[in-house]
Amino acid sequence: MRFATRRSRNKKELKHQGRVLAIFGMCMAAAMTAGASQTSWWVVDNTTDLLGGTGEGVAVTADGMLRPVEGWRSQALLEEPVVLAVDRLPGGDLVVVTGHPARLYRVSGPSVELLAKLPGEQGTSVLVDADGAVWATTVAPGVLVKWSGGELEEIGRLGDGGFWDLIAFDHSIVAAAGTPGALFKVGNKGLERWLEVPDAFVRCMAVDGDRLIVGTSGKGLVLSIDRSGRPSLLVDSPFTEISDLVVTQAGELWATALVGEPLPKPANTSSTAKKKNGGDGSSSTTDTLNLDLPKINGKTATSELVRITAEGALLHVHRFDRQVATALGVDGRGVLVGTGYEGEVWRFVATGGARLATLDAVQVTAFAPGGALVAQGPAGGWSADRAGRQRSRFRSKVKTFSRPVRFGMYRIFPEDSGVKIRFRTGVSADPDDLWLPWTEFADQTSRKVALDFGRALQWELEIAEGTEVDRVEVAWTEVNLAPVVRGVAVEPPGLVYLASLPVSGPVIRQEHPTFDGIFTTVGEIGPKSNNAKKGKKYWQVGFRTVSWKAGDPNEDPLVFNLEVERSDGFRLPVRKRLKGDQLAVDTSALPDGRFRFRLEASDELANPGAPMAGVGVSPWFVVDNTAPEVGVNREGQRWAIEVRDASSLARVQMSRDGGPWKEILPVDGLLDGPVEHFFVEVEEGAHLVVIRAIDRHHNRRVTGVEE
């Protein structure tokens, strides 16, 4: 224990050294990775984080330490199936009461001695008073007895109901009864009814200074009773039963509370029931259990551990979703909790707790002073013993990551703790069959995690006796994933978007054209633009606007390199290191043909040493910088017009003698081919006829003829 004490004194110093080392390690990692994704640390070094895990033979201390604790060893088995109460005799032996039938036993090591047969079906409580006399209660019928000097004396008997708990208060023995709920006191005249309680049962009691604390079943009340017998309501809980109470050495009041004590429907004696029971109707069945479950913090509770302040505030400590917590004890460093339907022992401090042991029993039913306990399934006594601890292990809560990560070094403090550690990883937040199996235990307190990648991580420690752990840290960094280009779109020819109004006049550019390449560009618009849309529409002959959508799985900032690719695969650079998501490109610098834009998205700003890139391409589009060809011939009293274009025409118009432009339709009625024919009637006199052909790329040709 000298080792553990020294570690406790140096805890703050060790934690400080650990943090310094962690900061130093992070700086070194950043330097060695040459700017790769930043190294982070998963650190568990305080009570709150530790209490999120589970232990076996390990306790979480109030100052954030993990320490091995004594285990429980099966001391003696009992013949009866039920054992509900235990106390300790002055010499150190245990005294227990059993059920079916009710018996009083002394347990000394592995030896079991029958002290008395009790006048009831089931023993419910046992108490050793200051003189060493043993008091016990039963139900069916409710009887209070005293065993002393080898003789059993009946002190009192109830006409209805039974006794459920015993306690010494104000120099008297007090017995809890129900139904109906009442308190009885042993006085000079024997058993006396002391106080009526407004509930079905008085289930448990505890002494808190000069007051008696009482927990009930039915309404889940907690009452405070002074020495004169005057009661006051301390807590009207949302539970149906306060199953046990305990007061710690620090004066804190703790309770276990249950929800929905199942009440079966009346026995069905119909022929159907007889058939279910083998036809003779000798036993009854319960078809359903109707539970009215109250809500605790918005959730349906099964069993809760709570603290109760002196003012009556009910403070949630822990909810047992599957287990039923019914037994409480005090071991000087916290509160012991016994559960069923798996016999577990937990220790709690004010902020939470950890499991100490899982017994080979169905339910822990009561604790005795000095850490001993009784359990049933099978019924027997268990003693606190170092030999009873099979192992001291602690399993952390699961650490989940929003994206895949790479695991690095782990460190355990103190560095000479001598513990072993292992890891496992998976994808889901809760370990399941798809998780990888545990790695082998490693006995080094600092080394590389024996796993590469994962979306979740959990570790488990095996702690040696006489040592302790106050900090575990694991380095991790996100796996750098390639950016994803979700789409590259090209607007119709000539359409550009500007985030702000252009300068006055027909010029639409926001800035002077650049000449660092053959392409002129305008209107790079990024996500920081004040315009929520693409911008205001403008038109510029020869331009094509390209826009894109891209993202990074690591949420890294992106830069973009834009190229234009010809149909034969030849590429030309347009712009590099763009930060926006839209650009208008002057395609008049290209020869006619089929092209597409090729976009590369890079996360090099956040990962200069090892960037990742994603690529996207636009649909193919046609570059047409050649004006249509227009031929005009006179055929009698009409002009025959032929227009040819590399792509397709948008409109063909005529004007006579400077008049307004008029649309003329092709012979077939549709402008849908590379060659279109038109006819225009000739008018008498001297006239000037102007023909204007405009293709879909806004190239135009104007031809004039005289009549």
The domain limits of the chain are: 2-68+393-478, 71-265+292-388, 484-623, 629-706
Q: What is the mean pLDDT of residues 656-669?
A: 92
CATH 2.60.40.10, applies to 629-706: yes
pLDDT for residue 348? 87
- Which pairs count as long-range contacts for 23-32, CB under 8 Å and 24+ apart, including other chains? 25/409, 25/411, 25/475, 26/475, 29/408, 29/475, 29/477
Average model confidence (pLDDT) across the chain: 83
CATH number of 2-68+393-478: 2.60.120
Question: Which of 225-239, 468-482, 520-534 shows the lowest mean pLDDT across its residues?
Answer: 520-534
More confident of the two residues 32 and 633 = 633
Contacts of 628 (CB under 8 A, 6+ apart): 643, 644, 645, 649, 693, 694, 695, 699, 700, 701
Q: What is the pTM of this model?
A: 0.56
Bond prior to 611 in cis (omega within 30° of 0): no
Q: Which one has a higher pLDDT value, 52 or 39?
A: 39
pLDDT at position 524 is 66
Task: Summarize pLDDT for 204-219 with one digit per residue, the tens.
Answer: 999 999 999 999 999 9
Round to whole Å and give the CA distance between 540 and 417. 74
Burial grade of 380 (CB within 10 A; 0-12, 13-18, 19 or more): buried
| Residue 190 clears pLDDT 50, i.e. is over it | yes
- pLDDT surpassing 50 at residue 27: no
Q: Is the pLDDT of residue 662 over 90?
A: yes
Residue 86 reports pLDDT greater than 60:
yes
Res 182 pLDDT > 90: yes
Report in angstroms the alpha-carbon separations of 186 from 103, 176, 189, 210: 22, 12, 8, 18
The answer to whether 71-265+292-388 and 484-623 have equal CATH topology is no
Kindly report which listed range (234-238, 398-402, 497-501) carries the lowest average pLDDT score. 497-501
CATH topology assigned to domain 484-623: Immunoglobulin-like (2.60.40)
Burial class of residue 707 in the structure, from the number of CB atoms within 10 Å of its CB (0-12 exposed, 13-18 middle, 19+ buried): middle
Q: How far is CA 639 from the centre of its chain?
A: 80
Q: How far apart are CA 467 and CA 465, in angstroms?
A: 6
pLDDT digits (tens, 9 = 90+) for 589-632: 999 999 999 999 999 988 888 899 999 999 999 999 999 999 99
User: Helix, strand, or coil here: 11?
Assistant: helix
Can you say whether residue 510 is alpha, beta or left, with left for phi > 0 and alpha for psi between -120 and 50 degrees?
alpha
Q: Output the pLDDT for position 28.
A: 33
3-class secondary structure, 330? strand
The secondary structure of residue 624, as a DSSP letter, is -
Mean pLDDT of 301-329: 86
Residue-level pLDDT at 529: 45
> CA–CA separation, 103 vs 81, rounded Å?
11
| pLDDT for 29 | 34
Helix (H) and strand (E) counts in the chain: 4, 58
- H-helix or E-strand spanning residue 639: strand 638-644
Helices 2-9, 11-32: crossing angle, 10 deg rounding: 70
CATH homologous superfamily for the domain 71-265+292-388: YVTN repeat-like/Quinoprotein amine dehydrogenase (2.130.10.10)
